Amino acid sequence: MRHFGLAGFPLEHSFSPGYFNSKFKQKNITGCKYELYPVREAGQIRHLFETDPNLEGLNITIPWKQEVIKYLDLLDDTAKEAGAVNVIRARRSGAGLLLEGFNTDVYGFIVSLPDDIKEDTDRALILGSGGASAAVACALRLLDISYYVVSRHPARDKIIYEELTAEMISGSKLIINTTPVGMFPDTEAKPPLDYDLLSHNNFLYDLVYNPAVTKFMEEGVRRGCRVMNGQNMLESQADRAWDIWNSTDL
C-alpha cells in the first residue's frame, strides 16, 4: 500500500483527505491511501518518513511550510525561490532516505488567478507573512506584479497593518489573504483592514476555502469588489503534488 498524507497542525477540517481519496476512487487508483498527520514540531515530519517505509509523499500545511526546510535533503527551484515547501517526496534506496521539497502553491496560485487580473494588476497587497504568503509573493514576482507584505509583527521587507495607508489599500488592485483568519471554526474573524477604502477596482482573493465565503470576501462584495476563495488553488496544487509523487523526472 502506498501512503500519502497531510502534515501540519491543526488538521481537523482539511480538504485534502476527501479530495485525494475521491480522486483515487474516481480514477480507479488502487493501492493508495491518504491520511492526516497532525504534528506539533516540524522535525516530526522527517520522523514520519523514517518510521513508515510505505510513506511516499506528504502535503505540508500551516505552520510548517518554512520550518520543515531544514529537515529536507533537496529543494526544487520554486521551493528555493519561495522559501517554503508544501510538498515532500521520498526517495528510498535500501535503508537510505532522501526527502525532496517542492512548492506547488506557487503553481496553484498562478493558474487559479483570472487572466485579466494577471495581465492588468500592477500592485498587490499580501496579508500574512507565513509559508503561503511566501508562495504568493514568489508567484507575483513571476507575474511581474509588485506587492507589499503586511504582517502583524514588524519585520524587514514587511509592513504592519497600522502602517497601511489609504492609497496602499485602494491602489492595490489585488489583495490576498494568506492567513487562516476567518477559517472555520472562527468564521466571524477577518483581517484588520479599512474595508471602506475598497471599491469595484479591487479584487479580493482569500486562500481560505472553508467557509466558501469568508467575512473578508463579504466585506469586499459589499463594496463592489470581485472576490475569490482558495478552492481552485487547492485543487490545482493538489493535482500538481500527485504528479510530483508519481514522477521520477522532476
- Cα of 160 vs its chain's centroid, Å: 21
C-alpha 52/C-alpha 78 separation (Å) is 27
C-alpha 84/C-alpha 11 separation (Å) is 19
Q: Are strands 2-8 and 55-60 parallel, antiparallel or unpaired?
A: parallel
Cβ contact 49:95 at 8 Å: no
Q: Please indicate whether residue 33 is annotated as part of the active site.
A: no
Q: Is 111 left (phi over 0), alpha (psi -120 to 50) or beta?
A: alpha
3-state secondary structure of 159: strand
Largest CA distance in the chain: 60
Catalytic residue of the set 23, 27, 33, 65: 65
Cβ contact 78:102 at 8 Å: yes
Strand partners, 98: 91
Residues marked as catalytic: 65
